[in-house]
Amino acid sequence: MDCIFCKIVKGEIPSKKAYEDEKILAFYDINPQAPIHILVIPKVHIASVDEINEDNSEIISHIFKTIPKIAKEHAVNDKGYRVISNCGDDACQSVKHLHFHILGGRQLSESMA
Ligand code: 5GP
Ligand code: ZN
């Protein structure tokens, strides 16, 4: 499968890591939209939020338990940060491997879109 985030997990494409454990990887977005812009992904290939189900939802819980730790390490937990996952074409999901954007380090827009 030709998935760039699977290649990042395998080390075939370099990335600047922010966090890693046996199940998930977090790395800095190549085109940051805020001073802190980190992507958190499961190491297994899940295409999008729309593919989360009973069999794979444990990793989602793990991702959301880890996001506050990553936020704290990057000192955005006090002032706040935004967690986004674009799902499908209308949402402009460009990489079809589930990822959660952590955005922070400045006042973000009030609008979501
Ligand atoms: P999406 O548009 O699918 O929600 O987000 C995909 C994100 O992945 C974009 O913010 C884009 O900048 C980032 N991205 C795409 N390719 C790479 C890459 O090779 N390395 C890194 N670090 N980020 C990438
Ligand atoms: Zn993948």
Ligand 1 within 6 A of 18 CB?
A: no
What positions carry a catalytic annotation? 99
Number of Cβ within a 10 Å radius of residue 98? 25
CATH number of 4-104: 3.30.428.10
29 lines ligand 1 (CB under 6 A): yes
- What integer pLDDT is reported at residue 13 of this predicted model? 97
| Residues of the chain above pLDDT 90, percent | 97
For residue 100, give the ligand nearest its CA: 1
For the question of whether the overall pTM of this predicted structure is more than 0.85, the answer is yes
* 15-29 per-position pLDDT tens digit: 999 999 999 999 999
- Give 36-56 pLDDT, tens digit per residue: 999 999 999 999 999 999 999
| DSSP label at residue 107 | P
8 A C-beta contact, residue 18 and residue 38? yes
- Centroid of ligand 2 to alpha carbon of 1 (angstroms): 8
* Cβ 3 under 6 angstroms from ligand 1: no
Domain extents in the chain: 4-104
Return the residue matching tokens 């199940």.
23
